[in-house]
Amino acid sequence: MTLAKVKGLIASGGRPPIGHTLGFQLVDAGDGWAAFEGVPGPEHYNPQGTVHGGYAATLLDSACGISVVTKLEDGQSMTTLELKTSYLKAMTEKTGKVRAEGRVISIGRRVAYTEAKITDEAGRILATATSTLLVLNP
């Protein structure tokens, strides 16, 4: 996949298969960055009555991964090796729309390093992540 293919996914609705399950979509991307948006709700709650950390981790991992994809050449792909997530504020159904933005920090022939953050509509940071990804060559 390449930036052109990522732009094509956005044009077709931007919803990868996991996006159907968790209700989020890819909304924008450029050279070395990508953004997803979603609205967390009660269907994403953990037993404590807040949005499960896996929701945020999935958004962050998606933003980190697609930011790398925008830098790949035809035939290349990537996979996450490591994701470190920090949760700063709990999300609930009252949070509203959230945005996960990922950016490539560095990319080489075999490894990419990225960072991402989730913000609410007021710009408050809810969670952050750093990620290491393996670049796979054909």
Q: Provide the pLDDT for residue 81.
A: 98
* Strands of 5-137, DSSP E: 24-30, 33-38, 77-87, 98-107, 111-120, 125-136
Q: Which amino acid is at 56?
A: A
Q: Model confidence over 79-127: pLDDT tens digits? A: 999 999 999 999 999 999 999 999 999 999 999 999 999 999 999 999 9
pTM of the model: 0.95
Coil, strand or helix at 24: strand
The CA distance from 78 to 68, in Å, is 8
Give me the residue spans of the domains in the chain.
Answer: 3-136
Q: Model confidence over 16-44: pLDDT tens digits? A: 889 999 999 999 999 999 999 999 999 99
Does the domain spanning 3-136 belong to CATH 3.40.50.10490? no
